[in-house]
Amino acid sequence: MVFVAIFLVYFGFKNLKAELNLKPSQANINTPIENDADWDDDGLNNREESYWSTDSNNPDSDGDGYLDGEEVASGHDPLIPGPDDLLPTNDNLTMKMSQLALSGLVEGSLKPDSPNYEQSLSDLADVIAEDAITSFEADLSKTEIRIIDSDKFSQQNYIEEFSRTHEKLLKTFVEQMLALEENLNNIGAYGMAYGGVAKSFSGSASRYQEIYGELLKIGVPKNWESSHLGVIKLVGELSQASQAVVSGANDPIKAVAGLNKIVQLWEILPEITESYSKKIQLNELRPDQTIFK
């Protein structure tokens, strides 16, 4: 029931559905459009033109010499002439949703009598949901781990050292899940700003960070590299999701997405443990001194 509650809360805001206009515009208000067509051949279809509040009949809405689609693709605002036209970044999903909803009301597509009302609501929900999902994806492109030889002695030392850190991860995650029902009840009764909730998830986030640091220090045999990076990714995402709940008073949408992410990762951890157990057997290593025995 706890997992179902999180699922419903998270997808509840997605199903609210709203619009994607970042800036107010009077272009095409209350006018039905062919959503997938690109009338002005600027790289944005008509639905995307509505998102950015650009003119679907003008390929260069701000007149700076660049097509609207080119500007969006390169991170520039299609409504502001360059060079000072970089799009702002905003990690606060609640604020972003509020700003987009307000822009949609000003622009007109979020008014109930707008012919694009339903589609606009759906578009905003999709964009916020996608941002919520990607916000917890750990970037491993700059992660450096110490690679060592893959002889049997090195592998044996690795799994024994890794086992101790993995045991801490399992303990932290299980404790977090056991406290989840109480935390959800407190959120329901007192809101995301309740101190007990922030304290609980702050403690988990801190322990995940410690585990993350330990994983980076372990010497990893080359043939275990991908498995080890997978665990680092998992721990990084758990830490980020837990921290999002800590900041729930400031960004409740991201906090709910964080709760949902933590529950999703509950299914991955046993898979990782099983994968390590099978690989230990495959490489004929001794699991006696590990949790994989």
Instruction: Identify the residue with better confidence: 220 or 51.
Output: 220
pLDDT at 86: 63
- Distance, in Å, from the CA atom of 147 to the CA atom of 149, rounded to the nearest integer, reads 7
For range 7-21, the mean pLDDT: 38
Tell whether the model's pLDDT for residue 27 goes beyond 60: no
At 46-65, the pLDDT tens digits run 766 765 778 888 999 888 88
pLDDT at 49: 74
* Torsion angles phi and psi, residue 248, rounded to 5: -60, -30
Q: How far is CA 93 from CA 42, 119, 128, 291, in A?
A: 29, 20, 7, 39
pLDDT at 90: 53
Instruction: Identify the residue with better confidence: 66 or 8.
Output: 66
For range 153-177, the mean pLDDT: 96
Domain residue spans of the chain: 2-134, 146-282
Instruction: Identify the residue with better confidence: 132 or 86.
Output: 132
- Distance, in Å, from the CA atom of 178 to the CA atom of 88, rounded to the nearest integer, reads 39
- Going by pLDDT thresholds of 50, 70 and 90, the confidence category of residue 87 is low
Q: Under a CB-based contact definition with an 8 Å cutoff, are residues 59 and 42 in contact?
A: yes
- Smallest CA-to-CA distance from 93 within 126, 49, 44, 57 is with 126
Q: Under a CB-based contact definition with an 8 Å cutoff, are residues 290 and 160 in contact?
A: yes
3-state secondary structure of 220: strand
Amino acid (1-letter code) at residue 63: G
pLDDT at 173: 95
